[in-house]
Amino acid sequence: MKEFFRRAARSKPLLFLPLLLLSGCNWAILDPQGPIGRAEKSLVFTAVILMLIVVVPVIVLTLAFAWHFRASNKKAVYRPDFHHSTTIEIVVWVIPCLIVLALGILTWKTTHALDPYKPLVAQNDEKPIEVDVIALDWKWLFVYPQLHIASVNELAMPVGASVDFRITSGTVMNAFFIPQLGTQIYAMGGMQTEVHLAADHAGTYHGLSANFSGDGFSGMTFNAIAMDQSGFDAWVQKVRGSSQVLDTQSYAQLSKASENVPVTYYGTVNGDIFGEQIASFVGSAPSMKMKSNGDQASAKGTGAMNGMSGM
């Protein structure tokens, strides 16, 4: 036994090799900055701890049995006729069944509690910020229908405010994801998905597409900037100061494939760009509303099913 530990001590640099391989990982999901992200982190940790109740004892007992029944241990009892133990059977079946039951209940409750279509509880009766998100090749277009402004590859929000996202795609399927705020949601042409997020602290959070979409995929990122109300108002005024207008013609130009697109502001938005984009796929002109039910049933089902896939 002493020789084993001496050998382990001499080779200890090798024990840190896996950590070096993980040193380039971005642990954004484990550093949540919003209520949805925190709830998802809690779910991940709870599920892992429940599973470790089985995993850790199995690993420890495997090593313990191998050590105890080694050839040099003369105290180990050799029992070639042993074939059954009711106590062991109860332990190895009941405990895993209870853990699976606990995981099932936990998953059921949190899946419904974290439904991406479920609006967040507003703080101080503040009106949510509405943002229409359109995934393009290879950039993100954010339209603020309440403010009649738009931006490319930059998203701004007040700290603490609920942001209600309507999401679609003007091209192939993408996935809208801000890891520190939580919940990945797919963006699909001709369909509308939704997610409701909020940021608890001021900061700039990395956003991306989590679904490969072609040559410019690596540059299809954006900054989600959370700021106080005065900072957000100043940002809105800065965007409104842009002379660029987003309408059907400029949108057609913007939707052409381009890579590593810089942040762009549109001081004026004419028309329902989001609704027109969906209509271009489904062949119907009426705009889709945030909380309509009938025509969006299939899209809502898809969004709800994939709401936890960004964890």
pLDDT at 38: 93
The verdict on residue 91 lying in a domain is: yes
Q: Which of the listed residues 83, 113, 143 is the one where a domain comes to its end?
A: 113
The verdict on residue 85 lying in a domain is: yes
Low-confidence residues of the chain: pLDDT under 70: 1-26, 122-125, 283-311
Q: Which of the listed residues 51, 81, 113 is the one where a domain comes to its end?
A: 113
pLDDT at 4: 53
Q: Which of 186, 250, 179 is nearest to 213 (CA)?
A: 186
Which tokens hold the place of 124? 């101080």
The verdict on residue 213 lying in a domain is: yes
Residues 297 and 225 in one domain: yes
- CATH number, residue 294: 2.60.40.420
Our count of domains for the chain comes to: 2
* Amino acid present at 131: V
Residues 96 and 164 in one domain: no
Cβ contact 100:182 at 8 Å: no
Answer positive or negative: Cα dihedral of 226, 111, 188, 190.
negative
pLDDT digits (tens, 9 = 90+) for 103-125: 999 999 998 999 999 999 866 66
Residues 279 and 145 in one domain: yes
pLDDT at 305: 38
Cβ contact 131:140 at 8 Å: no
| pTM for this prediction | 0.78
pLDDT at 1: 52
Range of the domain at 107: 24-113
